[in-house]
Structure 1
Amino acid sequence: MATILASRDGSGRGAAMVTAVALRLAAQRRAVDEVLAPLRLSRDDLVKVQALMREEMERGLGKETNASASVRMLPTYVNHTPDGTEKGDFLALDLGGTNFRVLVVRITEDGITMASEIYVIPVSITQGSGDELFDHIIDCIIDFQTKQNLVTQMLPLGFTFSFPCQQVGLDKALLLTWTKGFSASGCVGQDVVQLLRDAAKRKRGDLHPGCVVALVNDTVGTMMACGYDDPKCEIGLIVGTGTNACYMEEMKNVGTVEGDQGRMCINMEWGEPGYMMWHRQGDG
């Protein structure tokens, strides 16, 4: 939008300058539109993407086709969202990149308070051995507990672990693959929670190895955090360094887990399916 102001000296110079700026901005907008034009999808394209995504979701949920599905649809063993009655003090870990965050979260009738600290994980550790990585994590936890005067307290611990895992329980998850520049050896195929507990035993720190009560993906953690304020929230979405989504699914539709009663949060792990789905249609 251009606002034309009357020139005080009657020369029209101000109006000319504003017009020139407006024309330049319009030209820039046209240039941007030309670059973005090939990326804009028509309604027919969107309908096609929707149908392909639904097909892959159903394949991922199916007992027989899960391994070949491009959308992994991983069970999380989270069976319900918060109802607002949760209370207590908790430790939380958040590992999903070069920074590792440790938090203490206190939930009372008056609301939620938290304290946190961010610790850098050097590249030499993210690309070293698994023992070095989890020993470093335990060192950070011990440092945080000391600073927060939590050394003598045994708080339940939740671990947000933002890498693809095959969960076989709420507190047991097998690492499928490293992403985001991590390549620590000896971890893929292993139970991440057990690696943390083993490190706690090695370091003899103040983290009791049995107090890890849950491991979730960051997408699931996002849904649960929002669900505490809004019980109707049943979808989590991450759009950042990577992208992913989760949602609450009826157990009768989940072929990869026994039982058909109730519901379970499904971690879609949809980070790269779009590429694979388009190529299946010969559009690549």
Structure 2
Amino acid sequence: TEDGDFLALDLGGTNFRVLRVKVSDNGLQKVEMENQIYAIPEELMRGSGVQLFDHIAECLANFMEKLKIKDKKLPLGFTFSFPCHQTKLDESILVTWTKGFKCSSVEGKDVVSLLRKSIKKRGDFDIDIVAVVNDTVGTMMTCGYDDHNCEVGLIVGTGTNACYMEEMRHIDLVEGDEGRMCINMEWGAFGDDGVLNDIRTEFDREIDMGSLNPGKQLFEKMISGMYMGELVRLILVKMAKEGLLFGGRLTPDLLTTGHFETRYVSAIEKEKEGLQKAHEILTKLGVEPSHEDCVATHRICQIVSTRSASLCGATLAAVLRRIKDNKGVDRLRSTVGVDGSVYKKHPHFARRLHKTVRKLLPDCEIRFVRSEDGSGKGAAMVTAVAYRLAAQHKARQKILEALKLSHEQLLEVKQRMRIEMEKGLGKETHEEATVKMLPTYVCSTPDGTEKGDFLALDLGGTNFRVLLVRVRNGMRRGVEMHNKIYSIPVEIMQGTGEELFDHIVHCISDFLEYMGMKGVQLPLGFTFSFPCRQTSLDE
């Protein structure tokens, strides 16, 4: 039911995108998009945070200028795909940079505030930043717009991560236990505590040692696009050094970090032209490959990308199993929204991932949906949903406004009650008082010395109770009670007074017989819960 005009920013790798998304709900659920990709130069990725956010604000201004919408104040959703501690929908504190970013003075800060500051500094346009989301969430929301079964978002691109819908009752970090909330897993850091050490290889360790963030994002380094080509290069170098490839020859290009790109892995694994591509790429790196070298390189690419897809499938299966257990169903039917260059561009990655998930979860029907323009459009979807909920919230607030009382109003109520109490207690004003302040002739509260057996009657509604109350003092001080409930038939409630009290006496007699106390004389207290004018304790 979402509709409106929204902007979105999508920052999560070496490029970032600005989008304008129009969502309409005229019964057709239509989404129109225009977008522009801007590069982030390497020096900005490692410069200061201020420079990065100034650059983003400049690109945003350029995009709005182009679409002639600088005069409008549009709501904006910001996809920021780095580990963040999110405190509310429009506040996200960067925990740590990943994927080759290392801008100073951003970690530990709210990225929305930094962006707002850069926009304000320019002063040539204004926008309303409504939501900041992770790309996994954006992907899940985009696919969820078309497939309402979508409850998992997965990214396998420059980095890797996942999110899913968790039951609120299981989330100790947030108040409340009704409904569900999306959890951004940040699973790239899986294994940072050593749990994957037994399956990490010497090549994984070498990649980690040479990275900008050693010891961090270890799972991501085994899987994602930023490292896949580099893994293949390290294996080629080791084999060449041992005389198993290229006649033992090494070239400066082959020895340079980052020179075997992940897109080469995809090219070499293509069905028909794979071996020819291997020959071209290896030649470009300065080695003169034999046919066997090309076949071996193809096999290495295959093994590295298959491991990546299998690990990804295993962790995804764990997430889906949890959703199945949460729902308590025999067979889970669910959809995973997926985005990212590795998933989309590698010729076999998606198929291998699906196969692993199906093998590990035979009792689930899982559908995979490729997210088109996922994370950016998703940020707009989150913003659209936030806007829809805000509008509903506003309408509800308006209706509920009258029920909310201010501190001043409560003080006033207190004051008025004090005046009414005075009126009810005064002889001259008693008649006109609404709060009657009736004397009860009960002149003190219990002091603990009371003892004995008492009967009590309690009449105040459609039932009434007869009780035997034994009060003990001294060492064994306490109150012991026995009671029986009797109903009052409608005809007696609406009959004569005599009939009512005859019925009550009959019930007391029945109770005494039931307790084996017929003929015993006991003091009786009578709770009678109707407005009465009391003249003494027993009248």
TM range (shorter): 0.5 to 0.7
Q: What's the CA shift for 1:272?
A: 3.4
Q: Does 1:227 align with 2:227?
A: no
2:108 aligned residue (169, 189, 200) = 189
**Aligned residues of 2:38 and 2:59 also touching (Cα < 8 A):** yes
**Deviation sequence 1:25-68 (CA, Å, 0-9, x none):** xxxxxxxxxxxxxxxxxxxxxxxxxxxxxxxxxxxxxxxxxxxx
What is the alpha-carbon distance in structure 1 between the residues aligned to residue 73 and residue 54 of structure 2?
Answer: 19
1:254 aligned residue (156, 159, 171) = 171
**Aligned residues of 1:138 and 1:205 also touching (Cα < 8 A):** no
**Aligned residues of 1:93 and 1:160 also touching (Cα < 8 A):** yes
Aligned ranges 1:125-140 → 2 under 5 Å = 125-140=44-59
Q: What's the CA shift for 1:125?
A: 1.1
Q: Does 1:95 align with 2:14?
A: no
**Aligned residues of 2:52 and 2:103 also touching (Cα < 8 A):** yes
Partner of 2:158: 241
Q: What's the CA shift for 1:123?
A: 1.1
**Deviation sequence 1:237-276 (CA, Å, 0-9, x none):** 1111211110000111001111112210000111131463
Partner of 1:172: 91
1:226 counterpart letter in structure 2: C
Partner of 1:277: 195
1:196 counterpart letter in structure 2: L
**Deviation sequence 1:66-94 (CA, Å, 0-9, x none):** xxxxxxxxxxxxxxxxxxx1111100000
What secondary structure sits across from 1:144 in the alignment? Answer: helix
1:199 counterpart letter in structure 2: S
Partner of 2:382: none
**Aligned residues of 2:10 and 2:18 also touching (Cα < 8 A):** yes
TM-score (norm 1): 0.67
**Aligned residues of 1:175 and 1:187 also touching (Cα < 8 A):** yes
What is the alpha-carbon distance in structure 2 between the residues aligned to residue 115 and residue 218 of structure 1?
Answer: 18
In the alignment, structure 2 segments of 5+ residues that lack a partner are 201-539
Partner of 1:9: none
What is the alpha-carbon distance in structure 1 between the residues aligned to residue 88 and residue 199 of structure 2?
Answer: 39
What is the alpha-carbon distance in structure 1 between the residues aligned to residue 2 and residue 65 of structure 2?
Answer: 26
2:50 counterpart letter in structure 1: D
Partner of 1:265: 182
**Aligned residues of 1:91 and 1:105 also touching (Cα < 8 A):** yes
**Aligned residues of 2:86 and 2:93 also touching (Cα < 8 A):** yes
Q: What's the CA shift for 1:277?
A: 2.2
TM-score (norm 2): 0.36
1:121 counterpart letter in structure 2: I
State percent identity of aligned pairs.
58
Q: What's the CA shift for 1:195?
A: 0.5
What is the alpha-carbon distance in structure 2 between the residues aligned to residue 205 and residue 175 of structure 1?
Answer: 27
2:196 counterpart letter in structure 1: W
**Deviation sequence 1:131-181 (CA, Å, 0-9, x none):** 110000000000000001111111110000011000000000100011111
**Aligned residues of 2:13 and 2:158 also touching (Cα < 8 A):** no
Query: Structure 1's 120 and 227: CA in aligned 2 closer, same or farther, altered over 3 A?
Result: same
2:165 counterpart letter in structure 1: M
Q: What's the CA shift for 1:126?
A: 1.3
Partner of 1:57: none
2:42 aligned residue (123, 127, 142) = 123
**Aligned residues of 1:142 and 1:207 also touching (Cα < 8 A):** no
1:188 counterpart letter in structure 2: E
What is the alpha-carbon distance in structure 1 between the residues aligned to residue 67 and residue 131 of structure 2?
Answer: 22
What is the alpha-carbon distance in structure 1 between the residues aligned to residue 59 and residue 101 of structure 2?
Answer: 18
1:93 counterpart letter in structure 2: L
| Aligned CA-pair RMSD | 1.3
Higher gyration radius (CA):
2
Partner of 2:21: 105
What is the alpha-carbon distance in structure 1 between the residues aligned to residue 125 and residue 117 of structure 2?
Answer: 13
Aligned ranges 1:36-185 → 2 under 5 Å = 85-108=1-24, 109=26, 110=28, 111-185=30-104
1:214 aligned residue (118, 126, 131) = 131
2:23 counterpart letter in structure 1: I
What is the alpha-carbon distance in structure 1 between the residues aligned to residue 123 and residue 82 of structure 2?
Answer: 26
Partner of 2:469: none
Q: What's the CA shift for 1:283?
A: 5.9
What secondary structure sits across from 2:137 in the alignment? Answer: helix
Query: Structure 1's 283 and 91: CA in aligned 2 closer, same or farther, altered over 3 A?
Result: closer
**Aligned residues of 2:7 and 2:75 also touching (Cα < 8 A):** yes
Bigger RCO (CA 8 Å, 6+ sep): 1
Query: Structure 1's 132 and 283: CA in aligned 2 closer, same or farther, altered over 3 A?
Result: closer
**Aligned residues of 2:92 and 2:111 also touching (Cα < 8 A):** yes
Q: What's the CA shift for 1:227?
A: 0.3
What secondary structure sits across from 1:234 in the alignment? Answer: strand
